[in-house]
Structure 1
Amino acid sequence: MTVSRDHFPQDFKWGVATSSFQIEGAHDSDGKGPSIWDTFCDIEGKIADASNGHVACEHYTRWPEDVELITSLGVNAYRFSMSWPRVQPDGQGAWNEAGFAFYDQLIAALEKRGIELHLTLNHWDLPQSLQDQGGWDNREICAHFTRYATEVARRFGRRVHSICTHNEPWVIAILGYEQGIFAPGIQSRKQAMQAMHHLLLSHGMALQAMRELGLTTAMGIVLNLSPIYPASDDPQDVAKARLDDGLILRLYMDALYKGVYPQDVIEHLGADAPQSQPGDLATIAQNNDFLGVNYYTRNFSSCGNPWDVASTGNTVTDMGWEVYPHGLTELLCRLHHDYQPKRLWVTENGAAFKDQLVNGVVDDAQRLAYIRDHIAATHDAMVQGVPVGAYFAWSLMDNFEWASGYAKRFGLVHVDFETQQRTLKNSALWYRNFLSRT
């Protein structure tokens, strides 16, 4: 069945997503402090093309143009993040009013156009001054983050439709603190697990504090999740897939929705297991108004050779990720069955391909198909009773793709990083047409 917009509820949220560090640029303008990603980009060999986020998409100055872009797509929602060091340069102490003014004008412009605002407080760009004190490995950061969240909610909480505390805490903890391939570049499983605990604890503390303001704004968290399959029927592969599912999904979901860490994972971690204090897990297990799910591909686990996704015969993106829409349906159904979140939102979904701008046209047929088929997969989950209420395409436009620099393009809108010219790709035109038809 071909899915159209009228197969979804009238109040379904259709949007695009971005994050502050990836698009804003203006890395030291108007009082902004350095983030851990500013520091990380300066380390030789960490970014594939030796680039940084100093300029990015110049969204900090080109935001009026980008608001018009968002509006032109016909979406009714926009997911974006606030740069903590832009509004509080040291992560504690004085607020930077110039930074808040930027977000105030951006929000006002989108409000005027009737577009819902979905705000993320932490999309990875932690103030460097807090990292100098231990970052997410230091329990004191939970109080700093809670004060930041409360101040943002006090100023903007009644103007935005949702507030997400953290985007993808697994990425922050594992890629940043265990593998060291993302900022802050630490390689310690023990520190990674403690960072994970503090990310979840600060989420719970922030929700408590923001709700004390009397806000009715939806509040929750966004996780990167995927189904994990054993690479073979070998019992070792089956056991490895179960463990990997625990490390990537159950560790977070059990804490957030059951108030416990899964025992098999804690036993596996041994001395590296997170240290918690009495009451921590009860604080983590706050009532989330929504759970955001970022889905890109499925994963395989193997005790032997790494699984070769090309062997599935499915399309592989420029990131080397298999295109597997059914995995989104499966994931949403599993989360609904095992955890019963009040609302599930697809907060990121997209693909990188080697786009070419030819005579003003970007014919990104593979991305178009990816978006179309994952929207259909979202609908399949809803037919099975899953309360999905939103779909956000990643991303609005090509941007700084973290350790990949500017080499990987996920945008619906093509960006020429030399001229900053924006061009709607064919996938964007398809999305606009899809949203205009009922």
Structure 2
Amino acid sequence: MEIGDELSRDLFGEDFKWGVSTAAYQIEGSHDIDEKGSSIWDVYTERKNKVLSGHHGKIACDFYNRYPADLSLVKKLNIPNFRFSVSWPRILPCGTGAVNQKGIDFYNRVIDACLENGTDPWLTLYHWDLPHALELKGGWTNRDIISWFSEYAAVCAKHFGDRVKHWIVMNEPMAFTGAGYFLGVHAPGRTGAQNFIPAIHHSVLSTSEGGRILKDLLPGAEIGTTFSCSLVEPYTNRPKDVNAAKRIDALLNRMFIEPILGMGYPEEELPFLKRIEKYMQPDDKDKMAFDFDFIGIQNYTREVVRNSFFTPYVKAAVVKAKDRSVPVTAMGWEVYPASMYEMVRKFNAYKGIKKIYITENGAAFTDTLSDAKIDDVQRTNYIKANLQQILKARNEGLNVDGYFVWTLTDNFEWSEGYHPRFGLVYVDFETQERIIKASGHWYSEFLKGPEVKTQPDLNCKKSDLISSIASKS
């Protein structure tokens, strides 16, 4: 099936979940309002040359003040499910201890506004904005973070669990540990295996413990967690490149899902993971696993890799998309929709995954504002092409039950600042004006579905005819 009008919502089935995803630090702003504590991103963006153009999230999309209008946009776009994250330091300014009632009140207002609009709120506990106070104590490298995170999860369950029925524990642990604790290109900016390895283990344990806490306190809720993933393929068919691809696949796609499923870490492909034994306690192998109600997978592209002797730990390097003369997004990511199908198929191969949702998928392109309109045909085609791959998977009987676009509005895109625009809605960051892009209008019409033609009520017509005859006789 070609990309086009043949694609329709009803082909996915009535129970398929449709939505849009966001993250607190990327949209909220109000970084020091109403007794919110500092996050690692508040601190990181203050450091010179860490974020492109010196951008920061102090104002972002001003969602903290503009949430009623933005949630009205969600309703206007016919989007039935809204995924958002809670800012840990807005709830617990010091990471633990005293609860900030003003933060609780804000998220209660957001949840209530969603429900009033007929939108189902999906709440993510952790989307990378760790309280800075906890980072000063070691952050994800400190085993105490398991208890800190558990306390935070319980607070959120207590205050929001009566209305929120879909929960996500962690967003992309590979991203926040790898970029933040190994490469240093995300907050908190730490580098080296001595930070990365304990951060891996403690985030796995925290994910499962968070799941157990939510399930215990909210037995009727649907509890899940999300993982980033990319199709990984070798640059050539040479054995060295093929093996390099296996190592990168283990790093990007297997390292977090497999311990959650009780399979342990993929140490055979990544021998450096044996260093985790230093941080293991006797019952950790059991505590690492949890039976989630769903797994969210977040796919944007594929990676092509080659053997690289001088690359530490993995002996592999990514061959950049721009060097392969393939279509790319504004992030430099290859446009390769088939990666979506392959990732759905890969995660279906695991035993023990009950349900799979695509909790993020989208693309950044250069949006041109003309006559107060943005005709972002590339983004529309990207979404359509990915939906075709998901439909292919569903038609083959594979487990995939929902799709969330990343993202609602253009926002703060971490180290890239405000330059990449992923939104279905354009944001003028000087005026905070919102303009629905062509992709947003397409998604809205797609979700609305085909018009249902009213069939004539033959029984009614027959009775009207009898009445008419009787009145004339």
Shared fold (TM-score, shorter chain, > 0.5):
yes
Contact 2:362/2:406, CA 8 A, preserved across alignment: yes
* 2:360 counterpart of 1:348: yes
Q: Tell me if structure 1 keeps the 8 A contact 2:172–2:227.
A: yes
Determine if the alignment matches structure 1 residue 427 to structure 2 residue 439.
yes
Tell me if structure 1 keeps the 8 A contact 2:344–2:399: no
> Which residue of structure 1 lines up, in the alignment, with residue 135 of structure 2?
131
Match in the other structure for 1:263: 267
1:107 equivalent in alignment to 2:119: no
Partner Cα distance (2:398, 2:120) in 1: 22
Counterpart residue number, 2:48: 44
* Residue in structure 1 matching 2:304, options 300, 309, 324: 300
Structure 2: gaps (5+ residues): 309-316, 451-473
- Cα deviation, residue 306, structure 1: 4.5
Partners of 2:224 and 2:218 in 1: CA distance: 16
Indicate how the Cα distance of structure 1 residues 121 and 341 shifts in structure 2: closer, same or farther if over 3 A, else same. same
Deviates more, 1:35-44 or 1:283-292: 283-292
RMSD: 1.4
- Using the TM superposition, give the Cα deviation of residue 156 of structure 1 relative to its aligned residue in structure 2, in angstroms: 1.1
Mapped contact 1:344–1:390 kept (Cα < 8 A):
yes
Partner amino acid for 2:194? K
The residue that corresponds to 2:369 in the other structure is: 357
Q: Secondary structure at the match of 1:376?
A: helix
Q: If the length of structure 2 is used for normalisation, what is the TM-score? A: 0.90
**Mapping of residues 33-432 of structure 1, within 5 Å:** 33-271=37-275, 275-304=279-308, 306-310=318-322, 314-432=326-444
Counterpart residue identity of residue 325, structure 1: P
Deviation per CA, 1:6-57, whole angstroms, max 9, x where unpaired? 1012121111111000000000000000000000000100001101100000
Q: Is the alpha carbon distance of 1:308 and 1:180 closer, same or farther for their aligned partners in structure 2, counting shifts above 3 Å? A: closer
Provide the C-alpha distance between the structure 2 equivalents of 1:31 and 1:320, rounded to a whole number of angstroms.
Answer: 38
Deviation at 1:310, TM superposition (A): 3.9
For structure 1, which runs of at least 5 residues remain unmatched after alignment? Answer: none
Distance in 1 of aligned mates of 2:199 and 2:409: 30
Q: Which 10-residue stretch deviates more, 258-267 or 173-182? A: 258-267
Write out per-residue CA displacement over residues 373-396 of structure 1, whole angstroms, 9 at most, x where no aligned residue.
111111111112122111000010
d(CA) in 1 for partners of 2:305, 2:194? 22
Q: Normalized against structure 1, the TM-score is what?
A: 0.97
Q: 1:54 to 1:358 in 2, by over 3 A?
A: same
Q: Is the 8 A contact 2:246 2:269 kept in 1?
A: no
Q: Is the Cα–Cα contact under 8 Å of residues 250 and 270 in structure 2 kept in the other structure?
A: no
Q: Deviations over 1:110-129 (max 9, x none)?
A: 11122111110000000000
- Structure 2 distance, partners of 1:269, 1:287, is 23
Code of the residue aligned with 2:139 in structure 1: it is G
Deviation of residue 258 (structure 1)? 2.7
What is the total number of aligned residue pairs between the two structures? 438
- Whether the 8 Å contact between 1:259 and 1:282 is mirrored in structure 2 is no
Tell me if the contact between 1:318 and 1:354 (Cα under 8 Å) persists in the aligned partners.
yes
Cα distance in 2 for residues equivalent to 1:52 and 1:201:
31
Q: Partners in 2 of 1:214 and 1:293 — Cα distance?
A: 23
State the Cα distance separating 1:79 from its structure 2 match. 0.5
Answer with 85-94 or 378-387: which moved more: 378-387
